[in-house]
Amino acid sequence: MTDRTAITSVLVANRGEIARRVFATCRRMGLGTVAVFSDADADSPHVAEADAAIRLPGNTPGETYLRADAIIAAARAAGADAIHPGYGFLSENADFAKAVLDAGLAWIGPPVKSIESMGSKVESKKMMDAAGVPVLAELDPSEVTEKHLPVLIKASAGGGGRGMRVVRDLADLQDELEAARREAGSAFGDPTVFCERYLETGRHIEVQVMADTHGTVWAVGERECSIQRRHQKVVEEAPSPLVERTPYMRQRLFEASRLAAEAIGYEGAGTVEFLADEEGEFFFLEMNTRLQVEHPVTEATTGLDLVRLQLQVAAGRALPPEQPPLRGHSIEVRLYAEDPAHDWQPQSGTVHKIDIPSTAVEFGALTEAAIRLDSGVVDGSVVGVHYDPMLAKVISYAETRDEAAHLLASALARARIHGLVTNRDLLVRVLRHPAFLAGDTDTAFFTTHGLAELARPLTTPDDEQLSAVAAALADAAANRAAARVVGRLPGGWRNLPSQAQVKSYESRTGGAIDVRYRTTRTTIEVEGHDGLSVVEATPNRVVLDLPGEHGPVRRIFDIARYGDLVCVDSALGPVALTRTPRFVDPASQVAAGSLLAPMPGNVIRLGAKAGDTVEAGQPILWLEAMKMEHKIVAPAAGIVTELNVTVGQQVEVGAVLAVVDDSPPVTDKDTAGPENTEETK
């Protein structure tokens, strides 16, 4: 037995959702909590919820959450006696773990030697191979040839899709290696990368392990995390549909995972990740020596609090000899501020409202069919450019997989998420897709089933038109309510027939919508909507009776407005509209061919200069934002007539970065006068 000091106060060396998650368990255990925060996170919910909070001056991870010395100093200043690393940042950094222990603080994680063993994905594969765990061979980047393609570049010191690149053309290898190294260095402070053979399709299966200091190792349950974008998980579930239908696969997975944990003397919570094929054969990918983003689905299907177990193991407590049995099914989706229809472009700005219906608990256990919400944002939170754009993890639990999927899809579809473009519609379409419901999920899901189709809005154009009608009637009611003199009179009413009132909007799908209506003595008539009857129209709610085959169908629309943004929520689906100004400021117009910054970011590389001739899709520059690199490419072949940025420059969203002129070049023939022919003599 290892002697451990009692833990009374825990600093979480992380931010956002994971800090709130750990704090929730600490409060349930009666432990004190300490937050650290960057300048960008000063108003984050995790800061407000902690007993004490210490500022880490700066904004970027390198200035703040990756500074081990500053975090340990913060723990001492706040009187914390333990540090929980969360996930990402320094969570798998052996030097940080050692520094925490050397400072006399408790480390809520595995032994330093275990982290070192798994910290290098190159060396860890060799160790697992020697221990008898099936592995996928690692490749030295300098030795990759055509016969190895395609290959996957991976960061040795971290995960989460950072530093990952698929290379199918040998000519691209060097550039992709350099980009992967930059991303890995920015995210984890270590630019080391390696290559392995890339399997175009496969199932990503992982096993949650929990080990104490007394020799007990649990393989708690498996999760399937096959649906991914940019090699980062989007949908996770427990148990795995593949494992459920494959005889003896769970037994073999659990044996391999225990073997991996025992081979490195593991303690605490960890995850052993495998790539599997449809026949149930699997290969070791890596072991994450930390808590995983997707741990709530394991908690839902076992009844465990994995953070509580981490704290108890760190304090020297023994695990019970028998691990809990599995129960029911749980599915988690990651709700991101990003636009899947435009190359998963991350978004930044204010989350005006986030409300997920059917939420029974936040950061806690589910014991019956319901929704759990683990979120790092609240109404009014600002999503910046320095960190991952995940807004929340939304988790369902039910007795069956179908019920869990339907419950989660319904909650997301009815959620009120105002202010930013998100991947919500895509998540709902995935959860309702026949292939997903059949358990046919692999890492090529978006390619197989068409990203464009999955990323379509939940609402149809007709739904958007009807929502715009509701928005217009609510706006008119708001204008009347705000009127100081004639607020009680029916807006737009005339004693004699007159032209229709018009309100104009732009939907996020790109369509302009004009709503034309007239107010009569008894009702409001909306052009193009014969038979529509207005039951109620207030600034925040509109009730309409719509003509139906068997009589009127009543629809209720809730309206919220934030400046020119109007959000309409109904059972038809969410619709975001922007009011179209009556007069356009000429100064707001930009030249044709202008490349605008899709988000605030830092220019890290240029691919062209003013005067260059470029092809469609050719990179003009690279922006770094939200720990990822983003290419800004030429929309068409042409000439770069303007390049308005330099390397290292910070740009704001909407800034004109460059201009590409795609008009045909003018030739001497174009400018010459008429030829001296018989017709011109």
Instruction: List, as one string, the DSSP characters of 159-218.
Output: -TTTT-EEE-SGGGHHHHHHHHHHHHHHHHS---EEEEEPPSS-EEEEEEEEE-TTS-EE
- The domain made up of 9-108 has a fold known as Rossmann fold (3.40.50)
**Residue 236 bridge partners (DSSP):** 332
556 or 636, greater pLDDT: 556
Q: What pLDDT does 193 receive? A: 86
**Residue 15 near residue 376, CB atoms below 8 Å:** yes
Averaged pLDDT for residues 569-592? 80
pLDDT at residue 492 greater than cutoff 70: no
Q: What pLDDT does 85 receive? A: 98
Query: Per-residue confidence at 629, pLDDT binned at 50, 70, 90?
Result: confident
Look up residue 600 and give its amino acid. Answer: P
Q: Model confidence over 55-83: pLDDT tens digits?
A: 999 999 999 999 999 999 999 999 999 99
Q: Is 397 helix (H, G, I), strand (E, B) or coil?
A: strand
Q: How many other CB atoms sit within 10 Å of the CB of residue 486? A: 9
pLDDT at residue 679 greater than cutoff 50: no
Q: Model confidence over 83-127: pLDDT tens digits?
A: 999 998 999 999 999 999 999 999 999 999 999 998 777 788 888
How far is the C-alpha of 154 from the C-alpha of 121, rounded, in Å? 9
Q: How many other CB atoms sit within 10 Å of the CB of residue 631? A: 15
Averaged pLDDT for residues 226-255? 96
Q: What pLDDT does 669 receive? A: 55
Q: How many other CB atoms sit within 10 Å of the CB of residue 514? A: 15
262 or 163, greater pLDDT: 262
Name the phi and psi angles at 340, rounded to 5. -60, -30
Domain 590-661 has CATH 2.40.50.100: yes
Query: Per-residue confidence at 257, pLDDT binned at 50, 70, 90?
Result: very high
pLDDT at residue 205 greater than cutoff 70: yes
Q: What pLDDT does 156 receive? A: 76
Pick the CATH number of 328-440+449-456 from 3.30.420.40, 2.40.50.460, 3.10.450.50, 3.30.470.20: 3.30.470.20
**Residue 576 bridge partners (DSSP):** 567
Average model confidence (pLDDT) for the chain?
90
Give just the sign of the alpha carbon dihedral 480, 486, 490, 496.
Answer: negative
Name the phi and psi angles at 302, rounded to 5. -125, -20
**Residue 86 near residue 61, CB atoms below 8 Å:** no
How far is the C-alpha of 121 from the C-alpha of 135, rounded, in Å? 11
| pLDDT-wise least confident of 28-37, 336-345, 486-495 | 486-495
Q: How far is CA 1 from the centre of its chain?
A: 41
The model's pTM = 0.85
pLDDT at residue 411 greater than cutoff 70: yes
How far is the C-alpha of 210 from the C-alpha of 72, rounded, in Å? 26
673 or 364, greater pLDDT: 364
pLDDT at residue 207 greater than cutoff 90: yes
| pLDDT-wise least confident of 211-215, 265-269, 340-344, 439-443 | 340-344
Planar angle of CA 479, 484, 485, nearest 5 degrees: 105
**DSSP 8-state code for residue 475:** H
CATH-assigned architecture of domain 462-579: 2-Layer Sandwich (3.30)
Q: What pLDDT does 339 receive? A: 94
Averaged pLDDT for residues 262-268? 96
Q: How far is CA 81 from the centre of its chain?
A: 32
pLDDT at residue 424 greater than cutoff 90: yes
Q: What pLDDT does 544 receive? A: 97
Q: How many other CB atoms sit within 10 Å of the CB of residue 511? A: 12
**Residue 316 near residue 2, CB atoms below 8 Å:** yes
Q: Model confidence over 444-465: pLDDT tens digits?
A: 999 999 999 999 999 999 999 9
- Which residue, 70, 113, 117, is CA-closest to 90? 70
Q: What pLDDT does 680 receive? A: 42
Q: Roughly how many angstroms between the first and final C-alpha of the chain, as a whole number? A: 109
Q: What pLDDT does 161 receive? A: 64
Q: Where are the domains of the chain?
A: 9-108, 328-440+449-456, 462-579, 590-661
**Residue 238 near residue 329, CB atoms below 8 Å:** yes
Rg from Cα positions in the chain: 28
How far is the C-alpha of 345 from the C-alpha of 361, rounded, in Å? 30
Q: What pLDDT does 490 receive? A: 53
- Which residue, 486, 507, 448, is CA-closest to 226? 448
Name the phi and psi angles at 250, rounded to 5. -60, -40
Q: How many other CB atoms sit within 10 Å of the CB of residue 381? A: 19
Averaged pLDDT for residues 287-311? 97
495 or 72, greater pLDDT: 72
